[in-house]
């Protein structure tokens, strides 16, 4: 910082950027999220297997069916909501991609 | 009280409504309108054929028996839908780009268009689908029977009603599933009708649920209390069954032929998946929301032993709410009919494409079949297949008696159809998956499914009880329900675990060990990397735009005017409006394809039109056909090229020959004019002097003698010239006969020198080295002598030195006898050296009076003798070199 080195601080305009621009980066992370979503769903839906069962344990109080229903439908609803958000984002990205044909294609 | 007759009337009315909707939708779609027909909403709703009567009625029954386990059947598809980004999207993209018509078609085209695989998948699908159809028939019949019990006046016979239901569904499926043979296999009418049906069934179930919660239980809170207080009120789920069923339903959701039909084949736009990804899980959530309340209320209200599968129907009925019951009945009816129709359609496509058509084409081999011919055959095959599949379902139902065996048949069918999963997923994501692997995996899974689930589950004991208990031949580790001796697993979980895991292992191992064919490898690359190879699927483009594209393409191929004429004629034929572009109807496209194939080949034309009309990319098979065609064209054009090269070669030869002829003719003309000139000069003087002798008076004797001498000289010259010409022509024509004789060079030279110098006033001195001249010869001595005389007399004539001396030297150079004649004059100028051997060529003035033929004759003679005479440059005087090959000399010895 002390030495007035001009060449270091500025990015040279001729060289292509090492990193994606912000849009492309967002797109990729969004696709990552889309890939992870089913795993999140599977994890949420596998969780009930850990709950105390009426048949196997006498000590622990078995969970009531209404609570179980509440949990499962809540998980279901959350997954749907995330999916809605992702659907909207994907639509926007697709629209932008169509608008600028030169943009990095957002396929995978 | 809703009587059975009212019910039947309502049913018939509902079916008529469906017919109307399907018909109208088909009409609208055919006219290219109806954007809403291709909306994401219709697509999502059509997916809901997943919810069959089995889920409509059976979910409540399942909940009444085992609590929340029913929800697994809906959770699996939910997980599949939310992972659309890397799963279904790829499947749909491949389905569109490869113009896939069914799941069997997809598997077969992935593995190199193997029809064996397609047949396997088809058989599996039919085996799994038939009991499923029977289940739907059963649910309709059961719901009828509920109303029949409540209506003692009605005459109701179970068997006949099943028959009529099956027949009616078959007619509906035939009417709308096989009306036309679209390249894309899309049926807008049927899809719209099943979308309507899914709205109806959701509405019916929600209505019953709301009625139960708020009408019977008295609100959400009391309902929850009632649920917790009921016999299923505590969380109890078998972990194995829970996970297995979620997995199984997810697998079946992708693999079921009817799901594939609506999800992939009928898909119009890839973007619809975006909406369906959340909308369809939402639909499933709504469908299952009230299942537990209905089950709990049903358990509470209904007498012991009543069928919980029919609570949806019996609860409103027992509470006297007839209209709700009717609505619920229509809901169940909808679920059953939509499932049966789509399944029958999907299966019939598979059966006709992969079983009937290959057999038919094989039997027809050799006979030329026109395209329209095949179309009707395909449609016929599909219609018959639908009828046969429905009949199979009916017979299965009547044979199994509609007993409890049907209750679990839904899951059994799921387990069967899921055997496709390894081949499908492997095919989509793994390039190394091969046809052999798919076949082996599929066979292993299929066999295990039959052995461990289908046969033991069948009543009537196809497998004897002893085998189930002790295994075949007493081998305990092969017991159908406890493979490898692992006991105590739920039969369903047992089958799914073993069949799918062994299926996958067999698939992977066989894939790694086998080697795929080229087509298979290409297809594998296209499938796995579909996003690299295909453009993002276009949305619907208007029909006019398509016509324009077609027009542009046709113009490029046929030329502008023929293309315009063709399109105008077509427009006139279609609607009598010649000014506009024709609609791209199938007939028009067929004609256009035929027209284009005349120019570019059938496969190319097909691929081009498919590209524009179907929005589908070109498959590998198309490409191979195109390559074949281009290879043929290339071969043809290379043949043409060879011919044209030959022609140009011949033309060049002709040109050369012509040029030679022209040159020869010119030479002849020049020669003739030279000869006449040479003849004319002496003739003129002879004529002049003879006229003087004749006419002049008083010539002195001396003058007379002089003139006569001139005439004599000139006629001598003429004679010499004529002799020379004759000689030359004889030599040139090659008719000269040589008198071969033995002599030495010495003798020949002696004779030549003495005769050349005879009669000359100013003799040239001749210098010779006689020792070198003792070379024996075997040749035409006179002719050789003639050459020598000519050269010596030329030297004598032309040597301009004061003391003319001719040096004749003979020696041996490189196997040749060489005689040089060199004088001491000023020689021949360089520019004339090349001309001295031409006819009539004379150097300087013609003071010597020769005709200029001497050297030409010398050259001809030497050529005849096998030697040559040439001017020897580089000497002060004129120098000629005569060479004769020594072979002549040796030949003489």
Q: If you measure CA to CA, which chain B residue comes closest to A69?
A: B68
Site from A41, A73, A83 to mutate, B interface, most B CB atoms within 10 angstroms: A83
Kindly list the distances between the CA atom of residue B609 and the CA atoms of B106, B369, B547, in Å, as whole numbers in the listed order: 22, 22, 11
Cβ distance A76 to B242 less than 8 Å, yes or no, reads no
Q: If you measure CA to CA, which chain B residue comes closest to A34?
A: B85
What is the reported pLDDT for B639? 93
Q: Is-contact B221 A57, C-beta < 8 A?
A: no
Across the interface, of A37, A62, A65, the residue whose CB is closest to B68 is: A65
Going by C-alpha positions, the residue among B344, B368, B420 that lies closest to residue B124 is B420
- Average pLDDT for chain B: 79
Give the residue carrying structure tokens 């007498």.
B303
* CB contact B275 to A (< 8 Å): yes
Return phi, psi of residue B875, to 5°: -115, 160
Cβ distance B235 to A82 less than 8 Å, yes or no, reads no
Going by C-alpha positions, the residue among B225, B840, B534, B211 that lies closest to residue A107 is B534
Going by C-alpha positions, the residue among B612, B575, B578 that lies closest to residue B592 is B612
Beta bridge partners of residue B810, listed in sequence order: B819
Distance in Å, alpha carbon of B15 to nearest chain A alpha carbon: 33
Distance in Å, alpha carbon of A39 to nearest chain B alpha carbon: 9
What is the reported pLDDT for A55? 56
* CB contact B41 to A (< 8 Å): no
What is the reported pLDDT for B546? 67
Return phi, psi of residue B883, to 5°: -125, 140
What is the reported pLDDT for B859? 86
* CB contact B246 to A (< 8 Å): yes
* CB contact B85 to A (< 8 Å): yes
* CB contact A41 to B (< 8 Å): yes
Give the residue carrying structure tokens 């020696």.
B811
- Domain assignment present for residue A73? The answer is yes
pLDDT tens-digit series, residues B136-190: 888 888 888 777 776 665 555 666 777 888 888 888 788 777 765 554 556 788 8
Percent of chain B surpassing pLDDT 90 = 4
Phi-psi category of residue B218: left, alpha or beta, with phi > 0 → left and psi -120 to 50 → alpha: left
Across the interface, of B79, B234, B289, the residue whose CB is closest to A62 is: B234
Q: Is-contact B106 B118, C-beta < 8 A?
A: no
Q: Is-contact B257 B102, C-beta < 8 A?
A: yes
* CB contact B228 to A (< 8 Å): yes
Which whole number is the average pLDDT over B332-345? Answer: 85
pLDDT tens-digit series, residues B52-68: 887 788 888 888 888 78
Cβ distance B82 to A82 less than 8 Å, yes or no, reads yes
pLDDT tens-digit series, residues B58-115: 888 888 888 788 888 888 899 888 888 778 888 888 887 777 778 888 888 888 777 8
What is the reported pLDDT for B644? 95
Distance in Å, alpha carbon of A48 to nearest chain B alpha carbon: 9
Q: Is-contact B107 B427, C-beta < 8 A?
A: yes
Kindly list the distances between the CA atom of residue B809 and the CA atoms of B746, B764, B822, in Å, as whole numbers in the listed order: 11, 16, 8
- Domain assignment present for residue A14? The answer is no
* CB contact A57 to B (< 8 Å): no
Which whole number is the average pLDDT over B397-419? Answer: 73
Q: Using CA atoms, how far apart are residues B468 and B461, in angstroms rounded to an integer?
A: 10
Q: How many CB pairs under 8 A join A and B?
A: 110
* CB contact A68 to B (< 8 Å): yes
Q: Is-contact B101 B345, C-beta < 8 A?
A: no
Across the interface, of A66, A84, A90, the residue whose CB is closest to B228 is: A66
Site from B65, B85, B231, B493 to mutate, A interface, most A CB atoms within 10 angstroms: B85
Across the interface, of B82, B232, B289, the residue whose CB is closest to A37 is: B82
Residue B270, classed as helix, strand or coil, is coil
Q: If you measure CA to CA, which chain A residue comes closest to B222?
A: A66
Q: Using CA atoms, how far apart are residues B110 and B26, in angstroms rounded to an integer?
A: 31
| Angle, in degrees to the nearest 10, between helices B291-301 and B188-210 | 50
Q: Using CA atoms, how far apart are residues B31 and B27, in angstroms rounded to an integer?
A: 6
Q: HEC profile for A32-63? A: HHHHHHHHHHHHHHHHHHHCCCCCCCCCCCCC
ipTM: 0.76
| B514 CB-near residues (< 8 Å, 6+ apart) | B434, B435, B436, B437
Which whole number is the average pLDDT over B730-742? Answer: 80
pLDDT at B193 over 70: yes
Total domains, chain A: 1
Cβ distance A65 to B275 less than 8 Å, yes or no, reads no
Give B128-166 as a DSSP string: HHHHHHHHHHHHHHHHHHHHHHH-TTS---HHHHHHHHH
Burial B558-585 (b: 16+ CB within 10 A, else e): beeeebeebbbebbeebeeeeeebbbbe
Domains of chain B: 4-362+380-434+516-531 (1.20.1730.10), 541-618 (no CATH), 634-724 (1.10.287.130), 737-892 (3.30.565.10)
pLDDT band at B798 (very low <50, low <70, confident <90, very high): confident
Contacts of B230 in chain A (CB under 8 A): 65
* CB contact A107 to B (< 8 Å): yes
* CB contact A24 to B (< 8 Å): no
Let me know how many helices (H) and strands (E) chain A has, helices first: 3, 0
Burial (Cβ within 10 Å: 0-12, 13-18, ≥19) of residue A93: middle
* CB contact B654 to A (< 8 Å): no
More reliable by pLDDT, B481 or B407: B481
Site from A33, A60, A66 to mutate, B interface, most B CB atoms within 10 angstroms: A66
Alpha carbon dihedral B489, B492, B498, B499, in 10-degree steps, equals 170
pLDDT at B373 over 90: no
Q: Using CA atoms, how far apart are residues B882 and B858, in angstroms rounded to an integer?
A: 10
pLDDT band at B643 (very low <50, low <70, confident <90, very high): very high
Across the interface, of B79, B224, B274, the residue whose CB is closest to A90 is: B274
pLDDT at B119 over 90: no
Site from B43, B80, B82 to mutate, A interface, most A CB atoms within 10 angstroms: B82
Tokens of B796: 């004598």
Percent of chain B surpassing pLDDT 70 = 84
Beta bridge partners of residue B767, listed in sequence order: B807
What is the reported pLDDT for B2? 52
* CB contact B164 to A (< 8 Å): no
* CB contact A10 to B (< 8 Å): no
pLDDT at B368 over 50: no
Chain Cα centroid distance, residue B708: 100
pLDDT band at B577 (very low <50, low <70, confident <90, very high): low
More reliable by pLDDT, B781 or B186: B781
What is the reported pLDDT for B458? 63
- Domain assignment present for residue A2? The answer is no
* CB contact A33 to B (< 8 Å): no
Contacts of A76 in chain B (CB under 8 A): 75, 78, 281, 285
Which whole number is the average pLDDT over B528-554? Answer: 61
Contacts of B282 in chain A (CB under 8 A): 80
Contacts of B285 in chain A (CB under 8 A): 73, 76-77, 80
* CB contact A55 to B (< 8 Å): yes
Of B488-502, B611-625, B843-857, which one has max mean pLDDT? B488-502
- Domain assignment present for residue A12? The answer is no
Across the interface, of A45, A66, A94, the residue whose CB is closest to B271 is: A94
* CB contact A83 to B (< 8 Å): yes
What is the reported pLDDT for B534? 56
The residue segments making up the domain with residue A24 are 20-50+64-98
Of B196-205, B303-312, B610-619, which one has max mean pLDDT? B196-205
Q: Which helix (H) or strand (E) holds B879?
A: strand B879-885
* CB contact B88 to A (< 8 Å): no
Across the interface, of A34, A55, A80, the residue whose CB is closest to B282 is: A80
Distance in Å, alpha carbon of B279 to nearest chain A alpha carbon: 8
* CB contact B271 to A (< 8 Å): yes
pLDDT band at A8 (very low <50, low <70, confident <90, very high): very low
Going by C-alpha positions, the residue among B506, B494, B346, B512 that lies closest to residue B442 is B506
Give B368-379 as a DSSP string: ---HHHHHHHHH
């Amino acid at each position: 910082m002390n030495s007035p080195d001009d060449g270091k601080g500025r990015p040279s305009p001729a060289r292509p950027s090492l990193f994606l621009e912000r849009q492309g980066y967002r797109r990729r992370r969004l696709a990552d999220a889309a890939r992870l979503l089913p795993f999140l769903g599977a994890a949420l839906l596998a969780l009930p297997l850990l709950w105390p069962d009426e048949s196997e344990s006498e000590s622990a109080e078995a969970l009531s069916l209404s609570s179980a229903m509440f949990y499962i439908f809540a998980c279901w609803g959350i997954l749907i909501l995330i999916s809605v958000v992702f659907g909207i984002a994907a639509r926007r990205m697709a629209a932008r991609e169509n608008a600028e044909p030169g943009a990095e294609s957002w396929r995978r | 009280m809703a009587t059975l007759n009212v019910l039947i009337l309502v049913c018939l009315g509902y079916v008529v409504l469906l017919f109307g909707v399907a018909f109208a939708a088909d009409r609208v779609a055919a006219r290219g309108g109806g954007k809403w027909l291709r909306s994401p909403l219709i697509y999502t709703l059509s997916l809901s054929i997943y919810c069959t009567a089995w889920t409509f009625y059976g979910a409540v029954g399942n909940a009444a028996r085992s609590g929340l386990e029913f929800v697994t059947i809906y959770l699996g598809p939910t997980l599949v839908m939310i992972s659309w980004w890397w799963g279904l999207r790829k499947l749909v993209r491949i389905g569109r780009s490869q113009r896939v018509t069914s799941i069997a078609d997809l598997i077969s085209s992935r593995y190199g268009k193997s029809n064996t695989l397609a047949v396997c998948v088809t058989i599996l699908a039919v085996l799994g689908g038939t009991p499923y159809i029977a289940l739907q028939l059963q649910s309709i019949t059961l719901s009828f029977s509920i109303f029949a019990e409540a209506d003692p006046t009605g005459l109701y016979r179970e068997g006949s009603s099943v028959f009529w239901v099956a027949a009616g569904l078959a007619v509906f499926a035939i009417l709308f599933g096989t009306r036309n043979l679209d390249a894309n296999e899309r049926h807008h009418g049927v899809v719209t009708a099943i979308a309507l049906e899914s709205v109806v069934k959701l509405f019916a179930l929600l209505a019953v649920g709301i009625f139960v919660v708020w009408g019977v239980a008295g609100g959400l809170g009391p309902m929850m209390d009632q649920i917790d207080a009921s016999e299923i009120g505590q969380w109890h789920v078998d972990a194995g069954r829970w996970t297995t069923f979620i997995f199984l339903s997810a697998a079946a959701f992708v693999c079921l032929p009817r799901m594939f039909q609506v999800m992939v084949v009928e898909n119009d736009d890839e973007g619809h998946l975006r909406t369906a990804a959340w909308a369809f899980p939402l639909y499933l959530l709504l469908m299952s929301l009230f299942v537990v309340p209905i089950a709990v209320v049903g358990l509470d209200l209904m007498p012991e032993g009543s069928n919980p599968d029919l609570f949806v129907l019996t609860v409103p009925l027992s509470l006297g709410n007839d209209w709700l019951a009717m609505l619920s009945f229509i809901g169940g009816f909808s679920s059953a009919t939509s499932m049966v129709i789509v399944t029958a359609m999907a299966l019939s496509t598979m059966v006709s494409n992969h079983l009937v058509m290959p057999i038919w084409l094989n039997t027809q081999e050799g006979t030329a079949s026109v395209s329209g011919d095949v179309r009707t055959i395909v449609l016929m095959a599909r219609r018959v297949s639908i009828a046969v599949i429905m009949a199979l379902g009916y017979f299965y139902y009547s044979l199994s008696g509609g007993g409890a065996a049907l209750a679990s048949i839904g899951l059994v069918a799921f387990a069967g159809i899921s055997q496709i999963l390894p081949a499908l997923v492997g095919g989509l994501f793994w390039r190394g998956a091969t046809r052999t692997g798919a076949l082996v995996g599929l066979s292993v899974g299929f066999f295990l499914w039959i052995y461990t689930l289908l046969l033991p589950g069948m009543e009537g004991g196809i497998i004897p009880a002893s085998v189930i208990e002790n295994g075949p031949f007493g081998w305990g580790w092969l017991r159908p329900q406890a493979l490898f001796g692992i006991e105590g697993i739920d039969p369903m979980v047992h089958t799914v675990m073993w069949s799918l895991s062994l299926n996958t292992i067999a698939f992977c191992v066989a894939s790694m060990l086998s080697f795929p064919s080229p087509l298979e490898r290409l297809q594998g690359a296209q499938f796995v990397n579909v996003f690299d190879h295909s453009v993002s699927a276009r949305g619907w483009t208007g029909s006019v735009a398509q016509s324009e594209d077609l027009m542009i393409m046709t113009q490029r191929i046929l030329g502008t005017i023929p293309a315009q004429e063709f399109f105008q004629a077509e427009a006139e034929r279609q609607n009598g409006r010649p000014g506009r572009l024709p609609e791209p109807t199938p007939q028009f496209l067929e004609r256009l394809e035929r027209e284009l194939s005349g120019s570019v080949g059938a496969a190319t034309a097909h691929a081009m039109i498919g590209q524009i009309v179907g929005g589908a990319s070109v498959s590998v098979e198309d490409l191979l056909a195109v390559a074949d065609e281009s290879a043929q064209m290339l071969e043809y054009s290379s043949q043409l090229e060879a011919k044209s090269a030959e022609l140009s070669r011949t033309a060049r030869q002709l040109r050369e020959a012509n040029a030679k002829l022209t040159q020869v003719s010119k030479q002849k003309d020049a020669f003739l004019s030279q000869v006449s000139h040479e003849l004319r000069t002496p003739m003129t003087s002879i004529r002049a002097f003879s006229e003087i002798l004749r006419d002049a008076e008083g010539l002195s004797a001396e003058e007379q003698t002089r003139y006569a001498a001139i005439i004599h000289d000139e006629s001598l010259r003429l004679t010499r010239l004529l002799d020379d010409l004759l000689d030359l022509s004889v030599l040139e024509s090659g008719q000269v006969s040589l008198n071969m004789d033995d002599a030495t060079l010495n003798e020949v030279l002696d004779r030549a020198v003495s005769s050349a110098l005879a009669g000359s006033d100013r003799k040239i001195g001749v210098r010779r080295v006689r020792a070198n001249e003792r070379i024996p010869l075997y040749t035409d001595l006179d002719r050789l002598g003639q050459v020598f005389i000519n050269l010596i007399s030329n030297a004598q004539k032309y040597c301009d030195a004061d003391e003319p001396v001719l040096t004749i030297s003979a020696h041996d150079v490189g196997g040749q006898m060489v005689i040089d004649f060199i004088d001491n004059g000023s020689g021949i100028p360089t520019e004339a050296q090349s001309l001295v051997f031409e006819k009539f060529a004379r150097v300087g003035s013609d003071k010597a009076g020769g005709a200029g033929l001497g050297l030409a004759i010398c050259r001809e003679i030497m050529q005849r003798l096998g030697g040559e005479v040439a001017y020897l440059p580089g000497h002060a005087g004129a120098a000629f070199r005569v060479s004769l090959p020594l072979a002549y000399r040796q030949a003489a010895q």
